[in-house]
Amino acid sequence: MSTMDEARELGHLNESQRLHLLTSCQYADRLLSEIEAILVASQSKSPFPKLKPDISPAQAKVVQDYISRMRAQVVRILDGQGVPIPAPHIGSVHSIRVTLGFVDIAFDECRPKRMAGYGELADNAAIEIAGLVDEMQGIISRLNSYLAQGQSADLEKRLRRLEEAGSDVTLVKELERAINQHGLVEFRPALATIIDRLETDTFEIAVFGRVSSGKSSLLNHIVGQDLLPVGVNPITAVPTRLSYGSAPRATAWFADRQPEQFGVERLAEFVTEQHNPANVQHVTRIVVELPAQRLREGVVYVDTPGLGSLATSGAAETKAYLPRCDLGVVLIDAGSTLTQDDLATIQTLYDAGIPAFVLLSKADLLAAADRDRALQYMADHIHSDLGLALPVHAISIKAEYTDLLEKWLDTEILPLYDRHAELARQSLNRKIGALRLGVEAALKASLKRSGPSEHSEARIDISKLRDLEKELRTASGKIAEARTGCANMTDALAECADGFIRTAANNMIDAWDSRASATGEDRIKNTLEQAAAERTAQIATAIQEVARNAGSVLARTAMALELENRPEQDELLDVLKNMPRFDLGNFELEVGPSAVASLLGRRWAVARLERRIGSQAGKQITDAVGIYARVLRAWVRKTFTELQEQFDSYADAYRAHLDRLLSNKNGVEDEHALRDDLAAVATNPKNAAQESAPGTA
Ligand SMILES: Nc1nc2c(ncn2[C@@H]2O[C@H](COP(=O)(O)OP(=O)(O)OP(=O)(O)O)[C@@H](O)[C@H]2O)c(=O)[nH]1
Ligand SMILES: [Mg+2]
């Protein structure tokens, strides 16, 4: 008897029949899901609802109940036939992120360049549309990175766990509730940081500095072993925490898979630019535990990817991490000088209320007298540029110089160990305080909008708010437009070598005519470099203009909204630093005035000289201009990304604020909720008492 016959004998379905039953049930269930989707769509808040809302909530409930009934039945039938129900294998978060990718593309299709295919676009409209697309793509990317955090993003659950463990998290919980209730998503990162800190209760000492300033080397010295990878090129790609543990081991957490434990000798696979370029493995956190003598329970050292002009994508992680540490150590390489990048790092620490130490690293590279001069110079500059009086110490990891390092550790760092719990608490309090002020301002703004009419003079004029919103969008659009303009200018530069040679030839002939003294070689090199510099200056001016405009739009908006958080004058112009310069390198050329030239006329002379320059150095010039155009293009791209990020860091808060003021969804009920929540988080003596002892019980 065949197995099919056997099945019939026993009253069972055969294999094919079972498969058919399963696929039919799956198909029917998909259709039921569609009906569910219709129920959701009929209540949709979408501006383009697909369906009329002609179903009452009671009807919807009955439909839903029947669907549940059918589903329960399906499960029983399949179970009765011994048909296993396949488990899903696609994650919901993943699926949302994929769909978000398409949302991103849909907005990208509205960029002015693509719109132009449907007819020419008015300049004003183009700028506003570009701004709109940037705004949307910004929101998408933030939602995306929120989803990338995985489960750890469930802040409420984490708070509950803390509470169960006995922590007093009352105020933080109030903040979390208000943030959730009123959709204040812009405060989520700060809240996440605070919850992280509540969970760990450690004191984090983080080392910052430009690429290759010796951060990893310093930490290796502190823990007494060659643990962290070091080298000349950019090395560290992911912030790495070193903490005390009874046996050495490392753990990595990932955005898209389970955490992994591994031996410390495998650290390079996860933390280096070489093995994990641009953090392709999506590591979100790395902790190394070591029984090192200098480590202590509750104190954590953090190695970070280098900042500055040579930085890799890891720098973004460093910047994101920066406000979370409790103490910042900023390294400045004795082999280079104090740059704007270093000052910006110190300033950011200061702004976040984080104490900082500045260290002159690799002090062995300087003679003792130079070292003291360098220390003085740095302290003076930090004082004059930032108005901060910070301690500056010289250190080196070289054997003959370790007394410098030991002295710093002994006098400045080790004493902190005993106070770490108290220091961590203070640091956390500052973070909670800042968050509370922000949430308070946001709730007040919402109240202003929904407030009763007797406060009507306090209400802001709607059309003025719309204008502000539009101004922000236009400023963002202008940045997008300038980005395209500057990219085109750098592309054009690559083609300019011939033009530069002609300019140089003309200039040289003029010089010979007027018997100027510089040698031909120098004059031509200078003219070529100057011609390139003029192009560069045009790009710099374009960036300057757009950054200035963006800055003043931000300032105006902040003023109109009465928000404290606003950029300094010309803060956005910082992006212009480190613009690469054109350098022709060693340049050799044999040219001299020709007697016939004066006989045959200027045009002929210029053409002849052009040919001579071309034949001797044409390739060198073309190559140098080509390389420069490439370097400049990368710089332009990076600079605009930075500018847009900086602009958004302010504009986002303003947009959220405007959105609150503009949305008229707040009914009377909401107003009560707002008042209650405001009262719960507002700065008052009762809360202040809680704040001084936040949940680190
Ligand atoms: N002379 C001297 N060289 C040092 C010292 N400390 C580090 N170096 C060298 O500087 C280079 C960079 O050191 P790293 O520790 O990798 O620097 P980093 O700041 O971690 O670099 P990134 O991770 O790439 O940002 C290496 O070649 C080290 O050997 C020092 O005290 N003196
Ligand atoms: Mg490093």
Q: What is the pLDDT of residue 91?
A: 77
Whether residue 131 contacts residue 474, with contact meaning beta carbons closer than 8 Å, is answered with yes
Q: Which residue has the tokens 């550790």?
A: 409
Q: What is the DSSP string of 640-676?
A: HHHHHHHHHHHHHHHHHHHHHHH-----HHHHHHHHH
CA-nearest residue, atom 28 of ligand 1: 231
Read off the amino acid at residue 527.
T
The rounded Å distance from CA 214 to ligand 2 centre is: 7
Rg (CA), the chain: 32
- In the DSSP assignment, the letter for residue 274 is T
- Altogether, the residues listed in the chain come to a count of 697
Euclidean distance between CA atoms 663 and 682, whole angstroms: 23
Read off the amino acid at residue 315.
A
Q: Give the ligand with the smallest distance to the CA of 218.
A: 1
CA-nearest residue, atom 12 of ligand 1: 212
Q: Which residues of the chain have pLDDT under 70?
A: 1-10, 148-153, 448-460, 515-519, 593-599, 663-670, 683-697
The rounded Å distance from CA 470 to ligand 1 centre is: 48
Euclidean distance between CA atoms 343 and 382, whole angstroms: 7
Whether residue 179 contacts residue 439, with contact meaning beta carbons closer than 8 Å, is answered with yes
Q: Give the ligand with the smallest distance to the CA of 315.
A: 1
Whether residue 360 contacts residue 370, with contact meaning beta carbons closer than 8 Å, is answered with no
Best residue among 207, 211, 212 to mutate for probing ligand 1's pocket (most ligand atoms within 8 Å of CB) is 212
Q: Give the ligand with the smallest distance to the CA of 235.
A: 1
Query: Which atom of ligand 1 has the smallest separation from the CA of 307?
Result: 25
The rounded Å distance from CA 272 to ligand 1 centre is: 14
Whether residue 486 contacts residue 542, with contact meaning beta carbons closer than 8 Å, is answered with yes
Question: By three-state DSSP, how is residue 12 classified?
Answer: coil
CA-nearest residue, atom 14 of ligand 1: 214
Buried b (16+ CB within 10 A) or exposed e, 529-562: bebbeebbeebeebbbebbebbbbbbbebbebbe
Residue 338 — φ and ψ, nearest 5°? Answer: -70, 125
CA-nearest residue, atom 29 of ligand 1: 231
CA-nearest residue, atom 7 of ligand 1: 214
Buried b (16+ CB within 10 A) or exposed e, 188-217: bbbbbbbbbbbbbbbbbbbbbbbbbbbbbb
The rounded Å distance from CA 341 to ligand 2 centre is: 17
CA-nearest residue, atom 30 of ligand 1: 362
Q: What is the pLDDT of residue 506?
A: 85
Euclidean distance between CA atoms 244 and 230, whole angstroms: 21
The rounded Å distance from CA 426 to ligand 2 centre is: 29
Q: What is the pLDDT of residue 608?
A: 85
Q: What is the pLDDT of residue 328?
A: 94
Chain centroid offset of residue 533 CA: 31
Q: Provide the β-strand partners of residue 194.
A: none
Euclidean distance between CA atoms 182 and 447, whole angstroms: 11
Q: What is the pLDDT of residue 487?
A: 92
The rounded Å distance from CA 397 to ligand 1 centre is: 9
Token digits for 469?
């919103």
CA-nearest residue, atom 23 of ligand 1: 236
Beta strands in 146-282 (DSSP E): 203-209, 240-244, 249-254, 260-262
Whether residue 656 contacts residue 536, with contact meaning beta carbons closer than 8 Å, is answered with no
Whether residue 240 contacts residue 267, with contact meaning beta carbons closer than 8 Å, is answered with yes
What ranges in 328-400 are assigned the alpha helix state H? 340-351, 368-386
Euclidean distance between CA atoms 97 and 142, whole angstroms: 11
Q: Provide the β-strand partners of residue 244.
A: 290
CA-based nearest residue to 328, from 416, 400, 249, 245: 416
Average pLDDT of every residue of the chain: 84
Query: Which atom of ligand 1 has the smallest separation from the CA of 395?
Result: 31
Which residues place a Cβ less than 5 A from the ion ligand 2?
215-216, 235-236
The rounded Å distance from CA 222 to ligand 2 centre is: 14
Euclidean distance between CA atoms 577 and 570, whole angstroms: 13
Q: Give the ligand with the smallest distance to the CA of 208.
A: 1
Name all residues whose Cβ lies below 6 A of ligand 1: 209, 211-217, 230-232, 234-236, 305-306, 361-362, 364-365, 396-398
Whole-prediction pTM: 0.54
Query: Which atom of ligand 1 has the smallest separation from the CA of 229?
Result: 16
Q: What is the pLDDT of residue 516?
A: 63
- In the DSSP assignment, the letter for residue 307 is B
